[in-house]
Amino acid sequence: MKAVIQRVSQASVTIIGKKVASINDGLVVLLGIVNEDVSEDISWLSNKIVNMRIFPDAEGVMNKSLLDINGDVIIVSQFTLHANTKKGNRPSYIKAAKPDVAIPLYESFIKQMELDLGKSIQTGEFGADMQVALINDGPVTIIIDTKNKD
């Protein structure tokens, strides 16, 4: 699994003109899934995201986690995170898991994040054409790949 997390002061997801998710302080998590991903990747990534100290403390130092600030989350499926751009100018998405593999893992990741965060989170819609609007606070953007956890 690969995640791009962005610290935001506000964010939303719109599908066909309808806003389906909206948060203030927290994270937007773009999540890409490959066939090799397993449940251990889900728990490791969720734990890493909710505990990562990327929010400012009273002195402005990134020393607080999503849990510490009681922040909100929007998770958006993003198969393009696994684009292969090595050859030519048209990215290949062959590494991205097909829906029959990706959807159950995506849904399990959402449930794990809710357990780890202790509250419900918001999402986009798997496979939909979504417009994601956000104000990246900092800016802080971090890429996490479960294949690099060792």
Q: Say whether 131 is catalytic.
A: no
Verify whether residue 123 is a known catalytic residue: no
DSSP string, 75-134: EEE-GGGG-B-SSSSS-B-TTBPPHHHHHHHHHHHHHHHHHHHTS--EE--TT--EEEEE
Q: Is 79 a catalytic residue?
A: yes
Helix axes 99-117, 39-51, angle to 10 degrees: 40
Among 6, 10, 55, 80, the active-site one is: 80
Of the candidates 78, 112, 122, 123, the residue annotated as catalytic is 78
Candidates 79, 112, 123, 146; catalytic one: 79
Which residues are designated catalytic?
78-80
